Amino acid sequence: MTGTVAEPAVTRYDPSRPPLARRLAAGLATPGGIVWVLLVALLVAVVAYNPQLAAPDQFLRLIARMAPVAIVAVGQYFVLVSGEFDLSMGAVIGVQVVLAGTLIGDDPSRILPVVLLMVAVAVVVGLVNGLVTTLLRVPGFITTLGTMLILSGLTFYATGGSAGQNPAEEFRVLGRSGLQLPIIGYLPWAVVVLVVVVVIASWLVRRPFGRLLLLSGDNPRVAHLAGSSVWWLQTRAYLLSALAATVAAILLVGYAGVHPSVGSGYEFTAITACVIGGVVLGGGRGWLLSAVAGALVLESLFTLLNFVGVAATWRPTVQGAIILVAMAVTVLTTFRRRRPPVREVPPRSEPGAGEGAPAPASQQPRGT
Amino acid sequence: MQRRTSRLALVGAGVFALALTACAPGANAGGGSESEPSAEANPWFDQAQFDLENERRGAQFEGDPAKPYLQYLAGDMVAAADYALDRPGKVCFANASLSNTWRQTGWITMNQQLQVLQEQGVVQQMETRDAQDSDDTQVADIDYFVNEGDCDGFIISPYSPDATTAAVERACETGKPVIVFDRAVSTDCVTSFVHSIGGMAWGIDVGEFIADQLEPGDKVVALRTAAGVDVFESRWAASQKIFDDAGIEYVDYLTGADPAEIKKAVTDEIAKGEIDAVWVDLGDQSVPAIEAFEDAGVDVPIVNGEDNMAYLRAWKERDLNGFGGVYSNFQWRTALLALTQLWQGQDIPKDWVVPQTPITSAELDAVLRVNDEMPDVHSTSFGGEDLPGFPDAWRDRIIP
């Protein structure tokens, strides 16, 4: 017992905060921090290819385009940190886009009721995802795969898979236009919506809800023993992700228009964005803002590939390869940190010992 | 430990930046895909087919020009004697899909024509199976018709030419008439193949419209719906050939017709530099492309489209420099008429080529007037103006 006290690895809680510079440096060394370095590097590269993007209004337009994916990543963040997946987000976007297109039509007076209906759809989808996952104990991966298929089937049934009529321009304002302001010039509504969503989400993360959600993802048993109802925490996470998908859908209808393929693949882009942002699959760990940064990293990457001029048929391969590199960069740091400190392992005389030399840890018989 | 990880992270960021610059050489060499593939290198380019369709664009069609769906190019005829029926027949229709607005419009026209034929006592019923863009499903559909469909004739709109060939041959072996339309099959056992001139003719029409107004070195952004689908590939291969010959630069994107992808691609190209024309292989892609220019506050250059109302309206409202490539939608009607004409003892062409007339700015107003009430997703070459139910069936667009 006395031996452990002498171990230097145990650090006691120190109430005084370390200097800002050191905290920043330490933060940057985490996956959730390095993603910001990547983001800055990518944005610099994007602007280097196209100097006119450095103008504030052009830059904000660029961010506006990325807003839907970033919002979907925010929704996915809540589900991921609770230890589950939401694969239905893209299908939710598809359904909402088609709903808005077919129900609003040319009549602006229908906007409010249709938006309320869209919110209701999101709540139903979120509740189904959450309750089936938590109360029926179906893995979230499977539950949301099911809702994804149901929803995309409905979209296909309603449209036959072809483009539809665009809704009234009044409804498309949020995704398509913005505010004329002094100094920055043009502020797209999509950026405003993104900021609002991120602010609300950050507030939620700092609330008891957010803290307990992370705890439930890390160790549901402890969360349960601490008196919180894990099923309701996770169900609320699914509700948030369905609502985030709906907000993204409203932006996308405005930005793009009605087509059943709008939103397809967004769930995977969002999961990738979160992982690049250092959110750990399996739950319990991850920063919200870094997940948003991860989404911006992905989108700037795609933009950069457009600028660089990679051939269309070749582009997915290049995207995939670069995503793997980005993942490696961010995830590598976690593995390093999680491994037990090297100093505690007894030093070995032959560092280059091959497979034949039995390592100290594997001396007990295997396969028992 | 702490310092080590941060150094590692910085090294990682460096590697990442290197990976990015690794893709840059294409750009340094003058614009990636703009300089690489040419029409000659495109496996979908076929000079003989290109020449054939190019010649047919100016050909004289037999029949009444007021009924283009019954016009054809002179050639071998199929003797109807073997196929005549003395009772109302059952049509079995194996459809590739209804997954785009062109197919949906044609399907409505076909059903209106069906009603007429049923009232005339020529057709007893039409059984349809929708393969939903799947070769496997379509093969199963055709085999179902062959084995237990009790069909008096087959209409097949193939999903992909090669995959369905064996099943089409099994349909031919029944001795009943087999009409294939839209996309071809790789067998000549079919009774008649109904199609408009073709994708290459479409690509030549659109490509020439753009190339005639551009200078060598001007830039076209090509928005392609999908790779490997013959309808789209033949359009692109033909236009690509025209652009190559005219010395026009182009960069292509595969968009899946997703408007969000289209807008991102066009917006990035606008940021890169001046665009002289946007080429699309599907009319659904035009409006998002036009909006991308508007949202960026830039003048809209030449943007082609098809005969879809969304594009034609955008063309008129914004007074664009436009052109509507047409792949004649009325061939859906022709396919049904081909089968029933055989039953009624009328000879039909073995290779039934219907006319394919693009929409130019001269015809735009007239086309818009006729189709004034139609929804955005309507194809104006639907060819059903003289059918009962016009205009309601197409205006209300209830998919049968």
Per-residue pLDDT at B308 exceeds 50? yes
The whole-number pLDDT of residue B37 equals 60
User: How does pLDDT run across B90-117, given as a tens digit for each residue?
Assistant: 999 999 999 888 999 999 999 999 999 9
Q: CB atoms < 10 A from the CB of A203, how many?
A: 11
Least confident of A4-13, A239-248, B210-219: A4-13
Residue type, B295: D
* Mean pLDDT computed over A231-237: 95
Residues 262 through 301 of chain B touching chain A, CB cutoff 8 Å: 262-265, 267-269, 271-272, 284, 287-288, 291, 295-296
Name residues whose C-beta falls within 8 Å of residue A46's C-beta, 6 or more positions apart in sequence: A53, A62, A300, A303, A304, A307
Report helix, strand and coil shares of chain B as percent, to nearest 5. 45, 15, 35
Measured between beta carbons, which residues in chain A are less than 8 angstroms from residue B281? none
| Count of residues making up chain A | 368
Assign A119 to helix, strand or coil: helix
Q: Which fold has domain B39-53+199-324?
A: Rossmann fold (3.40.50)
A36: closest chain B residue by CA: B13
Q: From the CA of A114, how many Å to the nearest CA of chain B?
A: 21
CB contact at 8 A, B194 and B354: yes
Assign B210 to helix, strand or coil: helix
Residues 128 through 167 of chain B touching chain A, CB cutoff 8 Å: 133
CA nearest B33: which of B25, B43, B21?
Answer: B25
Measured between beta carbons, which residues in chain A are less than 8 angstroms from residue B13? 34, 37-38, 41, 329
The whole-number pLDDT of residue A367 equals 38
- Mean pLDDT, chain A, rounded, equals 84
Measured between beta carbons, which residues in chain A are less than 8 angstroms from residue B34? 309
CB contact at 8 A, B322 and B302: yes
Q: From the CA of A152, how many Å to the nearest CA of chain B?
A: 14
* Mean pLDDT computed over B176-202: 94
Per-residue pLDDT at B353 exceeds 50? yes
Asked if the Cβ–Cβ distance from B377 to A163 is below 8 Å, we say yes
| Superfamily of chain region B67-196+328-355+375-396 | Response regulator (3.40.50.2300)
Asked if the Cβ–Cβ distance from B227 to A25 is below 8 Å, we say no
More confident call, B152 vs B37: B152
Per-residue pLDDT at B29 exceeds 80? no
The whole-number pLDDT of residue A102 equals 87
Per-residue pLDDT at B16 exceeds 70? no
Measured between beta carbons, which residues in chain A are less than 8 angstroms from residue B286? none
Q: Which of B5, B224, B272 sits opposite A336 (nearest CB)?
A: B5
Q: CB atoms < 10 A from the CB of B173, how many?
A: 11
User: How does pLDDT run across B333-352, given as a tens digit for each residue?
Assistant: 999 999 999 999 999 999 99
Per-residue pLDDT at A6 exceeds 80? no
The whole-number pLDDT of residue A7 equals 54
* Mean pLDDT computed over B63-73: 95
Per-residue pLDDT at B19 exceeds 70? no
Asked if the Cβ–Cβ distance from B291 to A330 is below 8 Å, we say no
* Mean pLDDT computed over A271-297: 91
CB contact at 8 A, B373 and B346: no
The whole-number pLDDT of residue B339 equals 96
Question: What's the distance, CA B97 to chain centroid?
Answer: 13
CA distances in angstroms from A224 to A80, A135, A229, A358, B184, listed in the order given: 18, 14, 6, 42, 63
DSSP bridge partners of B223: B253, B280
Rounded Cα–Cα distance for residues A210 and A213 (Å):
5
Rounded Cα–Cα distance for residues A89 and A242 (Å):
6
Asked if the Cβ–Cβ distance from A312 to B227 is below 8 Å, we say yes
CB contact at 8 A, B329 and B381: yes
Per-residue pLDDT at A78 exceeds 50? yes
The whole-number pLDDT of residue A307 equals 85
Interface-testing mutation among A166, A329, A343, with chain B (most B C-beta atoms within 10 A): A329
CB contact at 8 A, B33 and B251: yes
Per-residue pLDDT at B33 exceeds 80? no
Measured between beta carbons, which residues in chain B are less than 8 angstroms from residue A305? 23
> What is the band of A2 on the pLDDT scale with cuts at 50, 70, 90?
very low
What is the spatial order of strands in the sheet that B123-130 belongs to? Answer: B123-130, B89-95, B153-157, B178-181, B192-196, B351-354
Rounded Cα–Cα distance for residues B111 and B392 (Å):
13
User: How does pLDDT run across A97-141, given as a tens digit for each residue?
Assistant: 999 988 998 889 999 999 999 999 999 999 999 999 999 999 999
pTM summary value:
0.81
A27: closest chain B residue by CA: B6
The whole-number pLDDT of residue A289 equals 94
- What domains sit in chain A, N to C, each tagged with a CATH number? 4-11+19-363 (1.10.3470)
| Count of residues making up chain B | 400
- The beta strand positions in chain A, using DSSP E, are 178-181, 185-188
The whole-number pLDDT of residue A335 equals 59
Do the domains spanning B39-53+199-324 and B67-196+328-355+375-396 agree at the CATH topology level? yes
- The beta strand positions in A79-191, using DSSP E, are 178-181, 185-188
The whole-number pLDDT of residue A355 equals 42
Measured between beta carbons, which residues in chain A are less than 8 angstroms from residue B10? 37
CB contact at 8 A, B94 and B138: yes
The dihedral built from the CA positions of residue A354, A359, A362 and A363, taken in this order, carries a sign that is positive
Asked if the Cβ–Cβ distance from A160 to B19 is below 8 Å, we say no
Asked if the Cβ–Cβ distance from A309 to B27 is below 8 Å, we say yes
Asked if the Cβ–Cβ distance from A261 to B288 is below 8 Å, we say no
Q: CB atoms < 10 A from the CB of B369, how many?
A: 8
- The beta strand positions in A20-140, using DSSP E, are none
Name residues whose C-beta falls within 8 Å of residue B177's C-beta, 6 or more positions apart in sequence: B83, B153, B154, B191, B192, B339, B342, B343
CA distances in angstroms from B154 to B18, B88, B145, B176, listed in the order given: 59, 14, 8, 7
The whole-number pLDDT of residue A336 equals 57
Residue A308's H or E segment, with its range, is helix A288-308
Measured between beta carbons, which residues in chain A are less than 8 angstroms from residue B26? 308-311
Per-residue pLDDT at B359 exceeds 90? yes
More confident call, A178 vs A310: A178
The whole-number pLDDT of residue A8 equals 55
> What is the band of A331 on the pLDDT scale with cuts at 50, 70, 90?
low
Q: From the CA of B335, how many Å to the nearest CA of chain A?
A: 22
DSSP bridge partners of B130: B95
Per-residue pLDDT at A362 exceeds 50? no
- Mean pLDDT, chain B, rounded, equals 89
Name residues whose C-beta falls within 8 Å of residue B131's C-beta, 6 or more positions apart in sequence: B94, B95, B96, B97, B137, B138, B141, B159
The whole-number pLDDT of residue B32 equals 36
CA nearest B226: which of A204, A278, A313, A52?
Answer: A313
The whole-number pLDDT of residue A235 equals 96
Per-residue pLDDT at A347 exceeds 70? no
Residue type, A282: G
The residue extents of the domains of chain B are: 39-53+199-324, 67-196+328-355+375-396
Q: Which of B13, B263, B268 sits opposite A256 (nearest CB)?
A: B263
Asked if the Cβ–Cβ distance from A162 to B259 is below 8 Å, we say no
* Mean pLDDT computed over B266-285: 92
Say which residue the tokens 């509740």 belong to: A127
The whole-number pLDDT of residue A9 equals 57
